[in-house]
Amino acid sequence: MKKMGEMIISKIHETILSISSFGGFSISALDASNMECVMFKLSDSKRPTSKIWLLIEYLIFSGKEAVAFEEIIELLWPNEGDVGNPIAALRILVHRARAELDKLGEGMGALLILRRNNAYSWNRDVPMQIDTELFAQLYAESQKASGSERIELLLSAARLYAGRFLYGAAYNQWAMIQETYYHSMYVSICEEAVSLLESFSFARDIVELCRNAIALEPYSETLQIAYMKALVSLGAQKMALEHYYHITHVLMNDLAITPSQKLSEIYKLITKNEEGAETDIDTIYKSLTDRSTNALGAYYVEYEPFKHLYEIKSRESIRTGHALQIVLVTVLPSKGKTPGQRSKMRFMERLLDIVKISLRRGDIVTRCSNMQYLVLMQSATYEDVQLVVERIQANLRQTHPKSGYLLQCVTRTIEPRSLPKDVEG
């Protein structure tokens, strides 16, 4: 037995364990002489809710030197009566967990999961690197550094964060608390790195960092704005504009909010012409006709350009003397219905088609909140608008009679304003 133990210890010195928790849990056995050589990897990706993995994860990340039997049992079998003999069930589970860890190397299971009286612990004497510890260490070191060294430390920490902490165990409160902590640290790291990169005008680095960051945290306005500004500085206005429309949709669908003042300013930055850029009228005409459409029904635009079109149409109404009509279409659930978020999103997409075909080609429609559309009609009377509203309601009843939603349509007439006499043409 002693000789076998010595062989295991000798083999351990040739191996370093790499434990990853960001974006999923895994343990890899690395060759100590070549840290990039993975000899074997265990992953919970196929069984993210297995009690075996939950046990191993808790022993590693609970922050406790040893975890009492009772605490582990409460974690794994929280409801009384889930298991007849909990102590026996725990011993069997530990035996299975050790057998799984033995795949990393002979005898590794018994070496990693230790029993101490009526508790189990994870053996920290085994050489290992854990991503959460390295992540926190890089961030701490970045706060003591400056200039390019600080940027590199922040970027190294950001690259280490491959996703949410232990997403397979995220339904457990202990994991949820740590997940929130590390995710907040990640967002802070990225926002700080972006600020420093902007001071050095490193646009390409900002695009790379933000592309990954906003996939994991789409609601950071700082990262979204930095990403679009960097794209513009690289001459990728089209990509920036497409992303602007994407993120405004996300904010509206998920958070029910319209673009902030800062996002509106980014829209203006994206859409303004490049300074000194010149072109000829034929090129301009082609770009305009390429964007034109022969589709029937109203013209849909995002909310920000809608505001510009409203300004144009209101100025036009002053000259022509024709009133404008705006209609706010609000979607409400039918009595007794509580539709989910996906149902709402699907219905709003279908409703847009109904609203567009119910209107004239010259009318303009936009989405102004997650459950509202706004329509702008010109050269139309209040009576004309009521006919359109009835047509929208009728088309909805015909195409989606059991949608579970009702429409509330509110109309306002915008009378032409008078121009100052010294501006009158």
Residues 6 or more apart in contact with residue 148 via CB below 8 angstroms: none
String of DSSP letters for 118-153 = TEEEE-TTS-EEEHHHHHHHHHHHHTT--HHHHHHH
Give the pLDDT mean for 240-266. 86
> What pLDDT, on a 0 to 100 scale, did the predictor assign at position 79?
81
**CA–CA distance, 106 with 12 (Å, rounded to integer):** 10
User: How many residues in the chain?
Assistant: 425
> What pLDDT, on a 0 to 100 scale, did the predictor assign at position 12?
46
Walk me through the domains of the chain, giving residue ranges and CATH numbers. Answer: 2-129 (1.10.10.10), 131-271 (1.25.40.10), 294-414 (3.30.70.270)
Q: Cα dist. 187→65, 70, 181, 194, 401 in Å?
A: 30, 36, 10, 11, 45
For residue 128, pLDDT over 60 is answered with: yes
For residue 87, pLDDT over 90 is answered with: yes
> What pLDDT, on a 0 to 100 scale, did the predictor assign at position 33?
65
Q: What percent of the chain has pLDDT over 70?
A: 85
Q: Coil, strand or helix: which one is 68?
A: strand
* CA-closest candidate to residue 51, choices 22, 108, 94: 94
> What pLDDT, on a 0 to 100 scale, did the predictor assign at position 43?
83
| Higher per-residue pLDDT: 275 or 79 | 79
> What pLDDT, on a 0 to 100 scale, did the predictor assign at position 154?
97
Q: Which two tokens stand for residue 194?
A: 């972006």
Tell me the per-residue pLDDT of 321-341, one tens digit each, with 9 for 90 and over: 888 999 999 999 887 677 777
Structural contact between residues 386 and 325, judged by C-beta atoms closer than 8 angstroms: no
> What pLDDT, on a 0 to 100 scale, did the predictor assign at position 14?
63
> What pLDDT, on a 0 to 100 scale, did the predictor assign at position 422?
37
**CA–CA distance, 300 with 157 (Å, rounded to integer):** 42
Tell me the per-residue pLDDT of 69-84, one tens digit each, with 9 for 90 and over: 999 999 999 886 677 8
Identity at 159, one-letter amino acid code: R
Q: Cα dist. 191→44, 158, 221 in Å?
A: 31, 10, 10
- DSSP assignment letter at 200: T
> What pLDDT, on a 0 to 100 scale, did the predictor assign at position 369?
86
Confidence of residue 276 (pLDDT cuts 50, 70, 90): very low
For residue 117, pLDDT over 50 is answered with: yes
Give the pLDDT mean for 346-362. 91
| Higher per-residue pLDDT: 9 or 65 | 65
Query: The pTM is what?
Result: 0.75
> What pLDDT, on a 0 to 100 scale, did the predictor assign at position 340?
78
> What pLDDT, on a 0 to 100 scale, did the predictor assign at position 400?
87
Q: Where are the alpha helices (DSSP H) in 251-321?
A: 261-271, 281-291, 303-320
Give the pLDDT mean for 81-95. 89
Q: Beta partners for 27?
A: 19, 42
Give the pLDDT mean for 288-315. 80
Give the pLDDT mean for 284-293. 62
| Higher per-residue pLDDT: 4 or 132 | 132
| Higher per-residue pLDDT: 3 or 221 | 221
Structural contact between residues 253 and 370, judged by C-beta atoms closer than 8 angstroms: yes
- DSSP assignment letter at 293: -
* CA-closest candidate to residue 301, choices 383, 379, 365, 229: 365
Residue 347: other Cβ atoms inside 10 A: 19
For residue 11, pLDDT over 60 is answered with: no
For residue 307, pLDDT over 60 is answered with: yes
Confidence of residue 421 (pLDDT cuts 50, 70, 90): very low
Confidence of residue 143 (pLDDT cuts 50, 70, 90): very high
> What pLDDT, on a 0 to 100 scale, did the predictor assign at position 308?
87
Confidence of residue 284 (pLDDT cuts 50, 70, 90): low
Of 231-245, 264-278, 324-338, 409-423, the range with the lowest mean pLDDT is 409-423
Tell me the per-residue pLDDT of 369-414, one tens digit each, with 9 for 90 and over: 888 999 999 888 888 999 999 999 999 999 888 888 999 999 999 8
Q: Coil, strand or helix: which one is 277?
A: coil
* CA-closest candidate to residue 166, choices 7, 306, 25, 264: 25
Give the pLDDT mean for 198-207. 93
Average confidence score pLDDT of the chain: 85
Structural contact between residues 245 and 302, judged by C-beta atoms closer than 8 angstroms: yes
Give the pLDDT mean for 189-213. 95
